[in-house]
Amino acid sequence: MPPLLVLATDAEYRQNFEGTYCRGVITTHDGIRVYFKKEDFDHSFFESTLRKGVKDTTLSQVRAQRMGWIAATLADPAAVRFQGWDKKNGRYDPTRCVSVVFGDFVVVIRLGKKADGTLKANFVTCYLADNSIGKIRQSPLWNREDCLNAL
Residue pLDDT, tens place only, 45-54: 987 766 555 5
Q: Residue 67: inside a domain, yes or no?
A: yes
Q: Residue 94: inside a domain, yes or no?
A: yes
Residue pLDDT, tens place only, 1-50: 899 999 999 999 999 999 999 999 999 999 999 999 999 999 899 877 66
Q: Where are the beta strands (DSSP E) in 11-137?
A: 26-27, 33-35, 80-86, 91-100, 105-113, 119-128
Q: Residue 3: inside a domain, yes or no?
A: no
Q: Residue 2: inside a domain, yes or no?
A: no
Total number of domains in the chain: 1
Measured from the Cβ of residue 75, the count of other Cβ atoms closer than 10 Å reads: 16
Q: Residue 33: inside a domain, yes or no?
A: yes
Q: Residue 1: inside a domain, yes or no?
A: no
- Of residues 50, 26, 28, the one with CA closest to residue 36: 26
Q: Residue 121: inside a domain, yes or no?
A: yes
Q: Residue 30: inside a domain, yes or no?
A: yes
Residue pLDDT, tens place only, 84-104: 999 999 999 999 999 999 999
Question: Residue 66: which domain range?
Answer: 10-150
